[in-house]
Amino acid sequence: MPVNRKTNLGQIKVSDNAIAVLTGSAVSECYGVVGMTAQNLLVDGINDLLKKENYSKGVIVRNKHNVLEIDLFIVVSYGVRISEVVNEVQKRVKYTVEKALNMDVAAVNVTVEGIKVV
């Protein structure tokens, strides 16, 4: 469900795809993250790393009462502490989305789909 805002100049709509690209860009900057994968491997195919234009397949955005919940599916690098990488991803996504959209992010759920030797 897209984010809708009304201002005195008109209405602003931000699509889930735009939020997914914003989120994916924030995730790709985090140390230890190799990439993002598709959320539904049966439909979207094998476990390939997504490119920037396909980040929406690796992100689920839910808008509940003007509070966002975001689910991510990532691949981490071999040899890094997974808990630290996931914690950093959660912090960066929350900060980036809240700053860009001026909305609260209630949860950033991260699923580690794999580990890759780089």
Tokens found for residue 96: 């980036």
* CA separation for the pair 17, 86 (Å, rounded): 22
Among 26, 53, 19, 54, smallest CA distance to 40 is for: 54
Q: In the chain, helix, strand, coil percent, each to 5? A: 35, 35, 25
The per-residue pLDDT string of the chain (118 residues; one tens digit each, 9 = 90 and over) reads 678 888 899 998 988 888 988 998 899 889 998 888 876 654 444 456 656 556 667 788 998 888 999 999 888 999 999 999 999 999 999 999 999 988 899 999 999 988 888 7
**Which of 3.40.50.10440, 3.20.20.140, 3.40.50.720, 3.30.70.1350 is the CATH number of 3-116?**
3.30.70.1350
* CA separation for the pair 79, 115 (Å, rounded): 9
**Alpha-carbon radius of gyration of the chain:** 15
* CA separation for the pair 20, 37 (Å, rounded): 13
- Domains of the chain, residue spans: 3-116
